[in-house]
Amino acid sequence: MSEHQAQTHAFQAETRQLLDIVIHSLYTDKEIFIRELVSNASDALEKLRHFQLAGETIHDEKLPLEINITTDDSGNTLTIQDYGVGMTREELNENLGTIAKSGSKAFAAAIKEARESGADPANLIGQFGVGFYSVFMVADEVRVYTRSYKAEGESLCWISDGRDSYQVEETEDEQRRGTKIVVKLHEDAKEFAGKSRVQEILKRYSSFVQFPIHLGGERVNTMDALWLRNKSDIKPEEYTEFYKFQANAFDEPRHTLHFAADAPLAINALLFTPKENMERFGFGRMEPGVALYCKKVLIDDHPEGLLPEWLRFLRGVVDSADLPLNISRESMQDSALVQKLSKILTNRFLRHLGDEAKKRPDDYKDFYQQFGLFLKEGITTDLDYREKLAKLLRYESNLTDAGTWTSLEEYVGRMKEEQDTIYYLYAPSRKAIEAGPYLEAFRSQGLEVLYLFEPIDEFVMNHIGEFEGKKLLAADSSELDLGDEAVGSGEKLDAEQQKELTKWMKETLGDRVSDVTVSKRLTDSPAAALNADKMMTPSMRRILKAMNQDAGGTDAVRLEVNPSHPLLHKLNEFRASKPDLARLMTEQILDNSLIAAGFVEDPREMVGRIYDLLGKID
């Protein structure tokens, strides 16, 4: 090395300021610098391959297209070498002498504009090519040895501590094509001189880089970037192997969705639905499981803003070349690009589920039993996808056999011409629903009622509100009006008796009921309790109480009675001849109705009353 060949260059004042921003503000994890250097090495190799294919003359033609990394914990150094295009003296000054190829002033202006608008400056990294400078988060000194692929290239060394200046000199230490970066690490960054730590970082961020990466002579990226291959060339066992690797899973995937898109974003996606919903087994809330990549380099393995929360069960990979490589986790949810990507992925997956439901209904039923709760969560929390999610719901009904499901679309297709409402009813089981009083009028009129078995289903129906122009209404709602009176089997009390009896029952029950009225819906049962609160059902109220939330509204119910039932005839007789017994009967009729409706939370008072009734038997 000759003295006159060494040249020292001072960083411009603005470049020094921007170096501080890059080192201290743009990155949250120091380990990112390894990802940046490997990504740059991969880009250099890709450019070299392009020149080879174009037939250009290449220096050191036979050198392999690979990345070699070595660690030295005794010397506290990390070395990353590639056999890519390398750099000329001019390119060294252009690429490493100025913090941004587009100019430091342009970068400074973009940083200022981003901060004033509330955006994350980290998003600018991909636009200005400043990822290399992340190395100064951990380096006391960086040496970049490089030799251009061009036949007339020089062997050069770029040296800097990232403070005030850099030096470029000729060297005989590295004559091969490409670039070798030797990082002298800070004392507090010695962990990155350890092979196991670097291997962990490479596995996390660079497992799918297309060129071989060797660490200490051993290849570390052995898994193929399956999502970039043509799916017609991929065997099922390859998908399974990739799923197990990416999701750290032991089972096989239930569904595999592999697709690519060019507009509005360049996307390659490989999504998996697991066999089991682990939240059902008490393992806690799942973390997002679809990793986000840019050109096979990991951006985030658990990106919270990439998909809606209710799709957290999905596993897989999404790769978009349109995203800035260094978009930060903090800015993920605020990024318009990520939001656009999220919309594309979500709509594509919902379309996939719709196709599965039509083409393979038995398989979809198995999926729905495991993951239907997530779809229902989406309906109650995400207005954007509510209509599409509603089409994926499945329920039994009074027109289906036990265990056979129907959709809202199929329900609408069977509706009577004049019917403008979809009816549903909640209870813990089919048996409980069909043993209750609320189906009687629907049976007599041949109307279909959906059976809801999960407490969240009532919230779901409330949030949907309307489907294909048809209102959704609970079959036990006080708003229900089926028109004609239901016809019971017995003789009715006359109009005056009905009026007097319901008035007396209301006075007897007091504040426990909002009203007592003659029912149009009952044919066989003596009475039914209806929720007086239009917004909150008993099960919904219990859920909110369990979550320590104020359910609001009122606990009072409206009691409907069947004037054809023998018990009501007996009660009407006893209210004059045996008023004490009639009072007990009235309260028990209410309690029985409350039990059937799911209102009773504490039955102890009712048990005491039953004993009083038994004591009055002659």
CA neighbor of 317 nearest in space, from 328, 306, 330:
306
CA distance 389 to 411: 16
User: If you average pLDDT over every residue of the chain, what do you get?
Assistant: 86
Residue 550 pLDDT:
57
Angle at CA of residue 437, ends 436 and 438, nearest 5°: 100
The helix/strand/coil state of 112 is helix
Class of domain 3-219: alpha beta
Residue 13 pLDDT:
64
The string of pLDDT tens digits covering residues 387-407 is 999 999 999 999 999 999 999
**pLDDT tier at 3, thresholds 50, 70, 90:** very low
Min mean pLDDT across 57-66, 365-374, 422-431, 433-442 is at 433-442
CA distance 613 to 26: 77
Residue 533 pLDDT:
66
For the chain, what percent of residues have pLDDT higher than 90? 54
Residue 126 pLDDT:
41
Query: In sequence order, what are the residues at sequence separation of 6 or more whose Cβ sits closer than 8 angstroms to the Cβ of residue 35?
Result: 201, 205, 206, 297, 298
Residue 324 pLDDT:
72
Q: Where are the domains of the chain?
A: 3-219, 226-365, 393-474, 495-615
Q: Which CATH number fits domain 495-615: 1.20.120.790, 3.30.465.10, 3.90.1150.10, 3.30.413.10?
A: 1.20.120.790
Q: Is the pLDDT of residue 602 over 80?
A: no
The string of pLDDT tens digits covering residues 33-45 is 999 899 899 989 9
The string of pLDDT tens digits covering residues 324-378 is 765 655 566 557 888 899 999 999 999 999 999 999 999 999 999 999 999 999 9
Mean pLDDT of 579-597: 89
Residue 521 pLDDT:
84
Residue 488 pLDDT:
59
Q: Is the pLDDT of residue 386 over 70?
A: yes
- Is 549 or 567 the better-scoring residue by pLDDT? 567
Could you tell me how far CA 525 lies from the centroid of its own chain? 46
Rounded to 10 degrees, what is the CA torsion of 389, 391, 394, 400? Answer: 170
Residue 491 pLDDT:
87
Residue 542 pLDDT:
54
Q: Is the pLDDT of residue 589 over 60?
A: yes
Q: Which CATH number fits domain 226-365: 3.30.56.10, 3.40.50.11540, 3.30.230.80, 3.30.1180.20?
A: 3.30.230.80
The helix/strand/coil state of 426 is strand
Query: In sequence order, what are the residues at sequence separation of 6 or more whose Cβ sits closer than 8 angstroms to the Cβ of residue 442?
Result: 398, 423, 448, 449, 475, 482
How is domain 393-474 classified at the CATH fold level?
Rossmann fold (3.40.50)
Cβ burial of 218 (10 Å; 0-12, 13-18, 19+) is exposed
The string of pLDDT tens digits covering residues 204-256 is 889 889 899 999 999 999 888 999 999 999 999 999 999 998 888 888 999 99
The string of pLDDT tens digits covering residues 160-185 is 998 888 899 999 877 899 999 999 99
Residue 5 pLDDT:
65
The string of pLDDT tens digits covering residues 488-529 is 567 889 999 999 999 999 999 999 898 999 988 888 889 998
Which two structure tokens, joined as six digits, stand for 333?
A: 């949810």
Q: Do β-strands 218-219 and 267-273 pair in parallel, antiparallel, or remain unpaired?
A: unpaired
The helix/strand/coil state of 363 is helix
The string of pLDDT tens digits covering residues 443-456 is 888 999 999 999 89
Q: Is the pLDDT of residue 128 over 50?
A: no
Predicted TM-score (pTM) of this structure: 0.72
Strand partners, 147: 155, 178
Tokens 């743009």 sit at which residue?
A: 26
